[in-house]
A and B are shown apart, each in its own frame.
Chain A
Amino acid sequence: MSGILESESDNDDSLQSSTVSSVSDSLRQQQQLHQEQQQQQSSSSGTPRNATTGNLVQSRLEHYSRRLSMLGLDSSQEVVAPDANSKIEPTNVIESDDSYEPTQDVPISASLQLHQLPQVTNRAIEKIEKQASGTTKSQEKVQIRFQPIGSISQINPSVCKITATQPFSLVVQFLKKRIKVDEVFCYINNSFAPNPQLIVGNLWSHFKVGDELIVSYCGTTAFG
């Protein structure tokens, strides 16, 4: 965790010190500053100096909360984000608690056909069903790279892994949780918005660049 904060504060100009190395340290600093500001306010209110300090503190607090939210501290039910207290790995894993598979049951009238099939087809279907239950257990994963468009916050780390058999809607869900927004627009290769039911593995094999599926995201419509 400290790794992230250090690397972030490095490229952050609004922070006075680049030595903030942990949440507790930075929290203490915020509190100190806040107390100082309150004291100043009570003693000499309305001076120009006070205004600038106030702004500074406010922007720092905002920045701080933004970074906290980036760490994904709150727990989620549908999407399991890695625990912020655990060791940060170079990639994230997108997982869903229930192994939702984008398949549908067959309507009754069509399933009647199953009783009128040649023996050999019945055996083939048994085989397919067995395989299907086997593949849910398989953990083949593909890589996704997230790219923010415009003012939306960046996701860190930007490369995530997801089980190939999951639908794309799970990626969107994960992203929404991660960057704390209600609405996000996702595009593949800066071109099109995929159907949320599409299997990520399918998308990856068609549209990957190198070894990654590039998903750009935006708070508003970006590509029509």
Chain B
Amino acid sequence: MCVNALPREKAGTTMNMDQIRELVWSGAINVQINVKQSLLLNEVSHKESLVNVRIPRDTYLVLYLPAIVSHLRNSLKIDPNGNDGGTYWFEFEDVPLFWNYPLGVLYDSMLALNPPGRVSRDTENSINVWKIELAYGSNPPAGVIPLINGIDQIKSYWMHQWKQSCYILNGSAKQVMSLSMQDSQQFWGSILNRDRTNFGRISSKIIPKRPKFIPIILHQTLPDIKRIQLSATECKDDGSLQTVADLAKIQFPEFFQDNQVLMKAVSNGIEVPLHSNVFELYQRLMSFDGFLHVCICLVSNDEYGEA
């Protein structure tokens, strides 16, 4: 399977936590980056205007930007050493991609991914490729955070995401602030070097056994794309466990009608059961920024007929 994600059948009781984390960590997407025509030098062949790269789901797309630009340096009009105040960004079918969400989340939400549909398109002789575009200009579209300080900016953004999730989990950002210099360097290093051991070791210092709240971002995918940040408790007021369905019902009551559920919860490219407890899901499927990202996707007509 090309768009690597958790195999649905295996995610049940037979797998332990570590195996699941390993699958989440190594999930990846084949991405083809095409340069916008206006940025290309004349006489550049089609082949020279694109880059194929396999990028982990659980990282920022922009971390690959320097490599992508360097690969295309002979085809681009843009002077790599120039200082015209411009910034790069990515688009999918003319919709800008916000680099500040994990790549896998962008993929799932931009495609309003319905996992069975993707699997049925996979064949032995073809691979799934996500085709996106590279754009450049001094005025990036609304919502795109301009990249003005390279990798330091990305690191700082990521650290603040962790401080925020730490605040939600623990009630203060103390656990992140009091990481030793070595730990915080290794923490960021674990993202750059895809080092799951260090990532797990340091993130476990931040995530408590009994969290106050659980940091979750719901991504509405249709009829428009919208992100809703939530702080969910592990248990409801009546003491029962809080489930994904409980949260979704509050935000999208329209998708829950009588006995029919019209939506699916998708995280890391797989459909997760709506009755999963939010903290259990967080421990298994949380992203590298300390949040659990869940895309709200819709049940297709065919599936609805079967049910």
Contact = CB atoms under 8 A, between A and B. Distances in A.
A198 B252 CA distance: 19
Interface string A183-208: 00000110111111111001100110
A192 B164 contact: yes
B143 A197 contact: yes
Given A105-B224, A106-B222, A197-B98, A124 B257 contact: yes
A51 B92 CA distance: 65
A198 B229 contact: yes
Interface stretch (A1-9, A62-70, A83-91, A108-116): A108-116
B300 A104 contact: no
Interface in B88-117: 92-96, 98, 100, 110-112, 114
A121 interface: yes
Question: Interface size for chain A: under 10, 10 to 19, 20 to 34, or 35 or more residues?
Answer: 35 or more
A104 B95 contact: yes
* Interface secondary structure of B, over-half rule: mixed
Interface centre among A110, A111, A116 (most CB of B within 10 A): A110
Contacts of A192: 160-161, 163-164, 167, 173
A116 B262 CA distance: 13
A101 to B, nearest CB: 8
Nearest to A189: B167
Contacts of A210: none
A140 interface: no
Contacts of B298: 113, 117, 121
A202 B229 contact: yes
A106 B225 contact: yes
Given A111-B222, A117-B298, A124-B254, A106 B231 contact: no
Contacts of A128: 223, 252, 254
A118 B229 contact: no
Interface in A26-44: none
B254 A195 contact: no
Contacts of A129: 223
A150 interface: no
Contacts of B302: 116
A125 interface: yes
B250 interface: no
A46 interface: no
Interface of B: 92-96, 98, 100, 110-112, 114, 142-143, 145, 156-157, 159-161, 163-164, 167-168, 172-173, 177, 213, 221-231, 252, 254-255, 257, 260, 262, 298-302, 304-305
The 8 closest A-B pairs by CB, nearest first: A192-B163, A124-B254, A107-B93, A191-B173, A118-B304, A104-B225, A110-B112, A192-B164
23 contacts: A100-B142, A102-B226, A103-B225, A104-B224, A105-B224, A106-B112, A106-B224, A107-B92, A107-B95, A110-B112, A110-B222, A114-B222, A117-B298, A118-B299, A124-B262, A127-B254, A132-B224, A189-B167, A192-B163, A192-B164, A197-B100, A197-B143, A207-B167
